Amino acid sequence: MRLLDKVGIITGGSSGLGKATAIKFASEGAKVVVTDLDEAGGRKTVEQIQAAGGEAAFIQTDVSSFDQVQRSVHFAVEQFGSLDVMFNNAGMNIAKPLLDFEPEEFDKVLQVNQYGVYYGILAAGEEIAKLGRKGVIINTASVFSYVATKGVIAYQASKAAVKLMTQAAALELADNGIRVVAIAPGGIDTPFIQFRKDLGQEEKMAKMHMRGKLLQAEQIANIVAFLASEESDVINGSTVMVDDGLAAFRG
């Protein structure tokens, strides 16, 4: 078990990649704190982990609030005595053409995707450093941190920011023994892309990947677990492409 007795926080853990990663962490021996706005979904994730013999707890959290993110970090330490891994995964999207995008909508996306990651880096970084642990902070960026597409300007801006915040935070926290890395997924078959399916774009999106299929959350969760483990000790400040080649050839 690569994560035996480590304590990890998973934001956005009620569904999709967050849920898959919480389950994967627990299967690798980690004690998991699931956070999400969706209380019912988050508690279901915890119940699933506990039913399989794992240890998990839930705390409702709005990642756009630093106070709530910091509270979730303190909750993890209170519940399990430590903190080793922070997976800043919660995110949102508003899909609209640029000229229809309202400034308030732009701000809303950045508050969750960009500020939410910053808050997670800050709160977890402070706590892990205080505990004297050699922790790992993992952030969910995107292939759209690198390549442009239509209709998601706020999402792209926020994910590009996550990529560079990962590099900057890794540099800042290296002296504390804390690694900071990110993942850049392609299209994952989760509720997050339901709007694409509603528009009849599922097949088109699948074909953007080299092997012509949408990615599965469990496939990405495997990579997150690896990055959280000591096996990835020399990966720091990097954004790892987990996109089945989408950004390499653009579909």
Per residue in 114-157, pLDDT tens?
999 999 999 999 999 999 999 999 999 999 999 998 889 999 99
Question: What is the greatest pairwise CA distance in the chain?
Answer: 51
* Four-point Cα dihedral 63, 67, 70, 75, nearest 10: -100
Span 92-106, average pLDDT: 95
Q: According to CATH, what is the number of the domain 7-241?
A: 3.40.50.720
pLDDT at 83: 98
Burial environment of residue 34 by CB neighbours within 10 A (0 to 12, 13 to 18, 19 or more): buried
146 given a catalytic annotation: no
**How far is Cα 50 from Cα 58, in angstroms, rounded to an integer?**
12
Would the pLDDT of 251 be above 70? no
- DSSP structure class, residue 112: I
Phi, psi of 221 (to 5 degrees): -60, -35
Phi, psi of 32 (to 5 degrees): -115, 135
Domain ranges of the chain: 7-241
Catalytic residue among 115, 118, 119, 155: 155
pLDDT at 93: 94
Span 12-22, average pLDDT: 97
